[in-house]
């Protein structure tokens, strides 16, 4: 489970009902900051508080440190991780409601329908991405290494 802040709220609203949930918080080699001469590596499980407070990140990549600091309240930045922040689901006041609230409304694009309830008559979804770190990471041309058993790929 990465993005627990977002993920758990979506579960509570019954927007998602996963068959199982796995906590990745204790997986090895997925946290911490490693600053080298030519490359800086920030693990997916690294807490935003650690990024915001890292002296070398503040010196070399001030925008990333500032973005991590500005994400939310101290309670959230103490728990939130880079991976969770980047992999948040998009937000929409119509999608992010319980089934009881949405009962009787036409299904929106994000729920498999053909309309956007936020922008009447739209042929596409207007829900917005909320990741705070993404713009700063893009500015520094960051890359994400995605791994699963048997394969690895790197994406901008």
Give the CATH number for residue 52: 3.30.465.10
Q: Is 153 inside any structural domain?
A: no
Q: Is 93 inside any structural domain?
A: no
Taking the model in full, what pTM does it have?
Answer: 0.80
Q: Is 10 inside any structural domain?
A: yes
Structural domain boundaries enclosing 48: 4-88
Q: Is 151 inside any structural domain?
A: no
Residue 45 and residue 39: Cα distance in Å, rounded? 18
State the pLDDT at residue 1: 58
Percentage of residues of the chain with pLDDT beyond 70: 97
Provide the 3-class DSSP secondary structure of residue 95.
coil
The structural domain count of the chain equals 1
Q: Is 32 inside any structural domain?
A: yes
Provide the 3-class DSSP secondary structure of residue 155.
strand
State the pLDDT at residue 112: 83
Q: Block means of pLDDT (10 residues each) for the chain, length 156 residues?
A: 72 82 81 91 94 95 95 86 87 76 80 85 86 94 91 94
Residue 45 and residue 62: Cα distance in Å, rounded? 20
Residue 102 and residue 97: Cα distance in Å, rounded? 7
Q: Is 130 inside any structural domain?
A: no
Q: Is 8 inside any structural domain?
A: yes
Q: Is 136 inside any structural domain?
A: no
From the centroid of its chain, how far is CA 79?
13
C-alpha to C-alpha distances, 78 to 38, 47, 48, 49, 131, nearest whole angstrom: 28, 6, 7, 5, 16
Nearest to 131 by CA among 86, 71, 77, 65: 86
State the pLDDT at residue 138: 96
Interval 108-127: pLDDT, tens: 888 888 888 888 888 888 88
Residue 38 and residue 90: Cα distance in Å, rounded? 33
Provide the 3-class DSSP secondary structure of residue 42.
strand
């Amino acid at each position: 489970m990465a993005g627990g802040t977002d993920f758990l709220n979506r579960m509570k609203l019954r927007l998602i009902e996963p068959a199982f949930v796995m906590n990745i918080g204790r997986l090895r080699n997925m946290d911490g900051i490693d600053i080298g001469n030519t490359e800086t590596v920030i693990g997916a499980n690294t807490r935003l508080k650690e990024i915001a407070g890292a002296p070398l990140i503040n010196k070399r990549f001030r925008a990333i440190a500032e973005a991590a600091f500005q994400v939310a309240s101290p309670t959230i930045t103490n728990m939130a991780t880079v991976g969770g922040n980047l992999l948040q689901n998009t937000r929409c006041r119509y999608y992010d409601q319980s089934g009881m609230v949405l009962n009787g409304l036409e299904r929106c694009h994000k729920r498999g329908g053909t309309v956007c309830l936020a922008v009447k008559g739209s042929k596409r979804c207007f829900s917005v991405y909320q990741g705070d770190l993404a713009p700063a990471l893009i500015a520094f041309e960051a890359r994400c290494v995605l791994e699963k058993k048997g394969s690895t790929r790197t994406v901008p």
